Amino acid sequence: MNNQYSYYTPEQDDMDCQTGNMNRQDRRKNRKVPSVIKVIGLGLVFGVVASAAFQTSNIIAEKFLKTTSGAVEKKVETTGSTQLTTGSGNAVTSDISAIAKNAMPSVVSITNMSVRQVQNFFGGIHEQESESAGSGIIIAQNDTELLILTNNHVVEGNDTLTVSFIDEESVTANIKGTDSERDLAVIAVQMKDIKSTTQDKIAVAQMGDSTQLQVGEQVIAIGNALGYGQSVTTGIISATQRMLDGFGSELIQTDAAINPGNSGGALLNANGEVIGINTIKVATDMVEGMGYAIPISDAQDVITNLMNQRTKTKVSEGEQGYLGIQPVDVSEDSAQMYGMPTGVYVSEVTAGSGAQKAGITKGCIITKIEGTSVNSTVALREQLQYYGVGETIKVTVEIPGSNGEYKAKTVEVKLGKNR
């Protein structure tokens, strides 16, 4: 059976019955497995953009999933460091409405506005604005920022990101860190942009322990279904440690109804603790009730790393940096067939470019930009767009040896101007 797995992000006015995606303008978020991962939103110039608003969150990582007593706070407290609120793991309640009421202040709606180039019937190219919707989970706060966890595919390709809270107040958000391989992202909202009345209504989510999940255990899914705002569905854990073709980590399987727009939303246990990030679902005529979430405990290290990255903003197009390579995706199938690392294959290096001066040659495979994994040209562009002309960035490449083995090396590349 050739299953199709799809993300829960609405983007066009028509409903795709096969994938379950309700789309407003394009179908960027569809994922077909095992053969192809579809990613649209390539209208960004390759080479791109600089970082402003440099902020480092003083995350206390060791407290990420440690258990403490107490319920979800109804108000986000301001402290000198950023932490995640964790739950006690005790006192299970079967009152779904009470669990939802406590958890919904920590779930947000995310709107991704982007501009892409489209071809009309006569072959002409024009720009078209695209809007997509997803969900997010408030996971931490420092003195200046509120941090929100979501899926990478919810925020990729964005020109602007808008976060809407439980009281429907909306503010602009910026990328803090992304990991395309794990499909995770952390975005940041400035505390000064959030009204005091909204701060009184929102809450930092409590994290559970996904390693303790049992098949048959009750779960609750909360998210921005169809882009209309928060909704709640219930179900059970159908399976744990599921591996899907084209996805790099184990997933939780659930039959809780997870609708388009729920990507990045919370999967909760009966304590109201987050045990998963809703991500993909199976969509075929022969399958019903197969949704998947990223286990929160498995993602601990990745999320902590993303929380500690600097908040990124884009520079104007004319100031976008240029790496100086011709990129080609290394798909998972190609990586397995030829024994290559997954990443971006360098098919050509521009003479005199920063990449050439740093020692990057044809045949190298780029796997990280500034410590963040990149597994496709799209992911590479997403990372480069925050660095401008003249900035120096760290690029991790896999260099092929004479014996066919690859060796990792991190080099510093000074970005040039796109010619």
Q: Quick one: average pLDDT of 20-35?
A: 37
Q: Look up tokens 């701060």; give the residue.
A: 199
State whether 229 and 104 are in the same domain.
yes
Q: Are residues 397 and 413 in the same domain?
A: yes
Can you say whether the dihedral through the CA atoms of 303, 307, 310, 314 is positive or negative? Answer: positive
Q: Is 263 assigned a catalytic role?
A: yes
Q: Taking 70 as the threshold, does the pLDDT of residue 38 lie above it?
A: no
Q: Which residue has the higher pLDDT, 120 or 68?
A: 120
Torsion sign, CA atoms 124, 125, 126, 129? positive
Examine the pLDDT at 55 and tell me if it is beyond 70.
no
User: Does 73 score more than 50 pLDDT?
Assistant: no
Residues 104 and 244 occupy one common structural domain: yes
- For the segment 309-327, the average pLDDT, to the nearest whole number, is 87
CA–CA separation, 165 and 154 (whole Å): 17
241 lies in the same domain as 254: yes
Q: What is the pLDDT of residue 119?
A: 65
**Catalytic member of 179, 183, 209, 329:** 183
Active site residue 200: no
3 state DSSP class of 73: coil
Q: What's the confidence (pLDDT) of residue 124? A: 66
- How much of the chain exceeds pLDDT 70, in percent? 72
Last residue of one domain, picked from the residues 244, 277, 312: 312
User: What is the predicted pLDDT for the residue at 113?
Assistant: 86
Poorest-confidence range of 21-25, 48-52, 213-217, 240-244? 48-52
- Report the mean per-residue pLDDT for the chain: 78
Residue 198 is part of a domain; what is its CATH number? 2.40.10.120
pLDDT for 278 beyond 60: yes
CATH no. for residue 361?
A: 2.30.42.10
Bridge partners for 170 per DSSP: 164
Distance of alpha carbon 419 from alpha carbon 318, whole angstroms = 11
Question: Which residues are within 8 A (CB) of 174 and not within 5 positions of it... i.e. 6 or more apart?
Answer: 53, 161, 187, 188, 311, 312, 313
340: containing domain: 317-417
Please check whether residues 95 and 176 belong to one and the same domain: yes
Instruction: Phi first, then psi: give them for residue 355, nearest 5 degrees.
Output: -65, -45
Mean pLDDT of 100-122: 83
Does residue 140 sit in the same domain as residue 267?
Answer: yes
Residues 137, 265 within the same domain:
yes
| The pLDDT of residue 288 is above 80 | no
- Rounded to the nearest angstrom, the gap between the alpha carbon of residue 302 and the centroid of all alpha carbons in its chain is 11
406 and 346 Cβ atoms separated by less than 8 Å: no
pLDDT of residue 16 exceeding 50, the answer is: no
| DSSP-derived 3-state class of residue 238 | strand
Considering the domain architecture, whether residues 265 and 329 belong to the same structural domain is answered as: no
Residue from 6, 106, 164, 263 carrying the catalytic annotation = 263
Asked if pLDDT for residue 341 goes beyond 80, the answer is yes
Q: Region 400-417: what's the mean pLDDT?
A: 92
26 belongs to the catalytic site: no
Average pLDDT over residues 169-183: 92
The answer on 277 and 164 residing in a single domain is yes
Contact 37, 246 (CB under 8 A): yes
> What is the structure's pLDDT at 287?
66
Q: Which of 127-141, 283-297, 392-406 has the lowest mean pLDDT?
A: 283-297
pLDDT at 44: 24
Q: What are phi and psi of 152, to 5 degrees?
A: -60, -40
For the chain, what is the domain count?
2
For the residues 69-87, what does the mean pLDDT come to? 42
Q: Check pLDDT > 70 for residue 63.
A: no
Domain identity same for 229 and 369: no
Candidate ranges 1-10, 59-68, 70-79, 216-225; pick with highest mean pLDDT:
216-225
pLDDT at 297 over 70: yes
Distance CA 47, CA 148 (A): 27
Is the domain of 35 the same as that of 120?
yes
Residues 272 and 321 in one domain: no
Q: Report the pLDDT value the prediction gives residue 281, as an integer from 0 to 100.
A: 75
Domain boundary residue among 261, 285, 312? 312
From first CA to last CA, the distance across the chain in angstroms is 47
Domain boundary among 312, 330, 356: 312
* Lowest-pLDDT choice from 165-169, 342-346, 375-379, 406-410: 375-379
Range name among 44-58, 242-256, 402-416 with the lowest pLDDT average: 44-58
